[in-house]
Amino acid sequence: MPAMLANPHYGVQKALIVMACALVGACSSPSLSTSVANPVNWITPYKIDVIQGNFISKEQVEQLQAGMTREQVKTVLGTPLMASLFHANRWDYVFTLKRQGVESQSFKYTLFFKDELLERFAGDAMPSEAEFISKLSNKRKLGAVPPLEATEAQLKAAEKPSIFSSKPEPSPDTTSAPADAPATVYPPLESRQQ
């Protein structure tokens, strides 16, 4: 009686089952769950930048002076994000910035009024406008911006005669269509029965 050969597909199936179990076990292992070997860490979803609140720059804070009216403060800083009914003489300006791969940043500035005039103000050290814009720039560096000026030759080449120019426009070329070609007739847009 001849020896029966093992089914080669049976061995491959066993190997795949063992590898799948090892992979599932590795994913649940606390030591490998944060490692690079975990396939779950290979894919990261895109998270949009979230900017909330009123951004106040260092330059705006420097314009504040005790004794300013509420309208003058609104002109410099804008409308406050929070104005409490219970604390009518207190305005809070809050600003948060959440970006992917960067720790969330939060800034708060509080103003206190007395008799409709700014009495005192305090809060976090605010970034300048240039510092804030540099934080917003993405990691991808683009090439140099080409000059955005056209030369005189390029401008003349792009010129098209207009209806207001004194130059006569060239007459349409009638030699391109054969003389014996029938004229195209289109049906009326509306029915004649009205």
Domain boundaries of the chain, sorted by first residue: 15-42, 50-136
Classify 98 as helix, strand or coil: strand
Averages of pLDDT over each 10 residues, the chain, 194 residues:
56 79 62 62 74 86 91 89 80 85 85 91 88 69 70 82 57 58 75 65
pLDDT at 149: 82
pLDDT at 164: 57
CATH topology classification for 50-136? Beta-lactamase Inhibitory Protein; Chain:B, domain 1 (3.30.1450)
pLDDT at 6: 56
Whether the Cβ atoms of residue 79 and residue 66 lie closer than 8 Å to each other: no
Long-range contacts of 61-67 (CB under 8 A, 24+ apart): 61/109, 61/121, 61/123, 61/126, 64/111, 64/118, 64/121, 65/118, 66/117, 66/118, 66/119, 66/120, 67/117, 67/118
pTM above 0.85, yes or no: no
pLDDT at 69: 92
pLDDT at 112: 92
* Residues near 164 by beta carbon (within 8 Å), at least 6 away in sequence: none
Radius of gyration of the chain (CA): 36
Classify 22 as helix, strand or coil: helix
pLDDT at 27: 58
Whether the Cβ atoms of residue 121 and residue 112 lie closer than 8 Å to each other: yes
Q: Is 89 exposed, middle or buried (CB count within 10 Å of its CB: 0-12, 13-18, 19+)?
A: middle
Decide the pairing of beta strands 50-53 and 90-99: antiparallel
Distances (CA, A) of 4 to 1, 7, 13, 41, 97: 9, 9, 19, 45, 69
pLDDT at 67: 92
